[in-house]
Amino acid sequence: MHEASGTIVALDGDFAIVRLEASGGCGRCHEPGGCGGGANIGRMLCSSESRDFRALNPECVPVGASIRLAIADGAVRRSAVLAYGIPLVALFAGALAGGALAGEAGSIGGALAGIVAGWFVLRRDRKVSAADPAMQPVIRPASAAGRAA
């Protein structure tokens, strides 16, 4: 299980909105000899210092509680492989197929068609993953996080 600390800021039925503080990678960003990579990348991708996530709240933890947000080990890797791999493979497959059929113009059209097809595959997978509890982050009270290892 991958875990991160956060605070519940709102409730939404069986879900809660959790605010996680931005982490600095290895934790040495601001120390002498630290590269600052985690903090710099975080600022590039997100303008705020914290992020809000919607997560399952099976234990009905109240607003304001400190929690641990946990997600299954394979969920992050699977999402990353799909999000980066499918569009890339679809782009190249479309470009190769289009090039074989119609030369350079076919490559361009095939690449565009491949990206669109990859986008549809990712949308479908997102709907399937949203219904899969193993792919959802789950809230655990901060006190329970240490004993459930």
Nearest to 36 by CA among 25, 50, 47, 20: 25
The low-confidence residues of the chain, meaning pLDDT below 50, are 24, 38-46, 145-149
Residue bearing tokens 């097809």: 117
- What pLDDT is attached to residue 140? 77
| Contact status, residue 7 vs residue 62, Cβ threshold 8 Å | no
Q: Which long-range contacts (CB under 8 A, 24 or more apart) does 88-93 make?
A: 89/118, 90/114, 90/115, 90/117, 90/118, 90/121, 91/115, 91/118
Break the chain into its structural domains and give their ranges: 2-145
Q: In whole angstroms, what is the distance from residue 23 CA to residue 39 CA? A: 7
CA angle, 66 then 146 then 139, to 5°: 45
Nearest to 111 by CA among 126, 96, 124: 96
- CB hemisphere CA count around 60 (13 angstroms): 1
Q: In whole angstroms, what is the distance from residue 87 CA to residue 29 CA? A: 32
Q: Give residue-wise pLDDT tens across range 66-109.
A: 888 888 888 878 888 888 999 999 999 999 999 999 999 999 99
- What pLDDT is attached to residue 22? 60
Please indicate, yes or no, whether the overall pTM of this predicted structure exceeds 0.85: no
